[in-house]
Amino acid sequence: MSRHIVVDPITRIEGHLRIEAVIDDNNTIMDAYSSSTMFRGIETILKGRDPRDCGLLAMRICGVCTGTHYQRSIEAVENAFDITIPKNARIVRNLIQGALYVHDHVVHFYHLHALDWVDVVSALKADPKKAAAEAKKWAKVAGVEPWTDAESAFREVKERLEKFVKQGRLGIFGNGYWGNKHYKLTPEQNLVGVTHYLQALDLQRDAAKMMAIFGGKNPHPQSIVVGGVTCVQDIQNPSRIALFKTLLMKFRNFIKQAYLPDVYMAGTMYADEALDGTGAGLKSYMAYGDFRLDDTGFYNADLLFPSGIVLNGDLKNPIDFDPEKITEDVTHSWYRGDKPLHPFEGETEPEYTGFGRKENGVAYLDTKNKYSWIKAPIYDDKRVEVGPLARMIVGVSRNDKRITEYVTRFLKNGKLPLKVLFSTVGRTAARAIETEMMADVMVEWVDELAANAAAGDLSTWTEFDFDKVSRDAKGYGLAEAPRGALGHWVRIENGLVANYQAVVPSTWNASPRDREERMGAYEASLIGTKVADVNQPLEILRTIHSFDPCIACAVHIVDTKGKELGVYKVDTSCSI
């Protein structure tokens, strides 16, 4: 007899996400539904605005990847106006976005995802001396010295944990599924993970400072404008560039000496789940591509991440990406509409129809009809996954030299076959591989910026005639946020925004079924997963967290049993 379980809210994410799963007598997930219980209406707010202001408003879509939305929005307008930005602006934007990548990925692994692999309470049984040996062991696999190898450091963390437990307050570690039999690390390995968790809390400040040096502020940067950047003094001042590089080098060391070794450790201990493909899901991937490496203009430059499509895990036959083949379907989404629309023609008209049946005080999603505030994006009539794994898969399939080198080295050091990437473990590993690569290439970029400025090129902005270029134009900013493919589309008429649509990474991954009843990436990834304890759905959290969900701005509220507390009507014609 099947059982229907509800996980709501999914915690350690940005935003509000609900997962419902149908589990058979063997505790295996037979069916799954992903629902965002929130509404986002910024596209509607942007209508009628000056397109040069869109970036500052669009970045409010998210509270984490603010700078990415900011840049994509600015680039959509630049694409509409056919503007090519100067070299310094291109490099500065790469550095701001790169800093966001390394910051976001480290925070995701340690503070949002690691506790799906690391049993904090188990660390209380650890021998600090053996923990130090574990840290050395996995750093050696990565080919580096460990970030922490002092027995005293691990002993101090263990004593801090013991105080928390004795006082009956685990704080941020409370309410975990500690002791679940699907945790596989040893006590010493768990102590290594907890130690690096706490150290990463301090270090993330450095990445935030890096974004602020050229962005002006963090988390909402201010220095990107249509045509270039405004951080002129920071580019001209060698000490500012040197400060950025100093912070980068320290953060890069943590990535290589702690993050990578910890992923090797977890990947090895959970290798059985990687080898059997737990969490693989769609196995079809898409990347828009990102990080321009030269100044040949929009969508003509060489890219750090190449664009492309890989279907059904077939790495030998990558498909060229075509932006005209993107549509969004709302069959199972709380929006009006009767057919998939391209984002240039996209509509955002809410049509909330509520939940379905209620049993024992719990309301369940009306999965045969509409059940999520997220639309269902489709590429050329295919459902695809986006994110770091998609970027690595597309890069390898394209024979990209740099990506292939990093992926191959990681798998060789871990003695793992390529197929482990098609799993929850592989999704987590791909993010770590990408983080190391990003940290390394940023060193090249910051040196390139310093050399260009020292050579006398201080240009930061491309002049344009707004009245002339904004009469009738449309453009898109398509690139990669840390979580995956992010697109902003804008149509401009008589100098004002006529229509605006943003399709974010979590829209691709967290979406409900489409008009053909095909699952989104989250839903597909859960099918076939074995759950050790239905009262502790650790495995569902582990796979969903591997995508790094980002779902912001809720207006509809329910209690922990699905009971409606109140309904809030938002006037989408409001202005800021």
Peptide bond before residue 377 is cis, with ω within 30 degrees of 0:
no
14 is catalytic: yes
436 is catalytic: no
| Radius of gyration for the alpha carbons in the chain, expressed in angstroms and rounded | 23
Q: How far is CA 247 from the centre of its chain?
A: 23
Give yes or no for a contact between 74 and 227, defined as CB atoms under 8 angstroms apart.
no
Catalytic residue among 65, 284, 332, 542: 65
Place of tokens 């768990």: 190
Give yes or no for a contact between 556 and 38, defined as CB atoms under 8 angstroms apart.
yes
Query: What is the model's pLDDT at position 2?
Result: 85
Pairing of strands 3-7, 17-23: antiparallel
Query: What is the model's pLDDT at position 233?
Result: 95
Cα separations (Å) of 344 from 46, 289, 323, 488, 501?
14, 20, 11, 9, 7
Please name the amino acid found at residue 193. G
d(CA 346, CA 328): 8
Query: What is the model's pLDDT at position 566?
Result: 53
Catalytic residue among 62, 113, 470, 545: 62
- Pair of tokens at residue 520: 């989104």
Helix, strand, or coil here: 473?
strand
Give tens-digit pLDDT for 187-216: 999 999 999 999 999 999 999 999 999 999
Query: What is the model's pLDDT at position 570?
Result: 45
515 is catalytic: no
d(CA 292, CA 85): 11
- Pair of tokens at residue 479: 């690139």
Query: What is the model's pLDDT at position 564?
Result: 52
Catalytic residue among 90, 196, 483, 556: 483
Cα separations (Å) of 146 from 111, 130, 261, 377, 534?
20, 14, 8, 43, 38
φ, ψ (nearest 5 deg) of residue 4:
-110, 115
Statement: the pTM of the whole predicted model exceeds 0.85: yes
Q: Is 167 exposed, middle or buried (0-12, 13-18, 19+ CB in 10 A)?
A: exposed
Give tens-digit pLDDT for 18-62: 999 999 999 999 999 999 977 767 888 899 999 999 999 999 888
506 is catalytic: yes
How many CB atoms within 10 Å of residue 548?
29
Catalytic residue among 18, 49, 69, 427: 69
d(CA 293, CA 124): 48
φ, ψ (nearest 5 deg) of residue 287:
-135, 130
Place of tokens 């369940």: 364
231 is catalytic: no
**Cα four-point dihedral sign 138, 143, 147, 153:** positive
54 is catalytic: no
d(CA 253, CA 280): 31
Catalytic residue among 20, 332, 553, 556: 553
- What averages of pLDDT result for each successive group of 10 residues across the chain (576 residues)? 89 89 96 87 89 94 87 97 97 98 97 95 96 98 96 96 82 82 97 97 93 95 97 96 98 98 97 96 98 93 98 98 97 95 93 92 95 96 98 98 98 95 98 98 98 97 97 97 96 97 94 98 98 95 95 44 49 42
Q: Please list the residues that pair with 18 across neighbouring strands.
A: 35
d(CA 395, CA 372): 32
Catalytic residue among 4, 12, 14, 515: 14
How many helices (H) and strands (E) are present in the chain, helices listed first? 18, 18
Query: What is the model's pLDDT at position 562?
Result: 45
Q: Given phi > 0 = left and psi -120 to 50 = alpha, else beta, which region is 531?
A: beta
69 is catalytic: yes
Please name the amino acid found at residue 301. A
Query: What is the model's pLDDT at position 44?
Result: 86
Give yes or no for a contact between 27 and 532, defined as CB atoms under 8 angstroms apart.
yes
Q: How far is CA 40 from the centre of its chain?
A: 18
Query: What is the model's pLDDT at position 361?
Result: 87
Query: What is the model's pLDDT at position 559?
Result: 44
d(CA 112, CA 552): 16
Query: What is the model's pLDDT at position 545?
Result: 97
Peptide bond before residue 417 is cis, with ω within 30 degrees of 0:
no
Distance from the first to the final alpha carbon of the chain: 52
Catalytic residue among 506, 511, 525, 546: 506
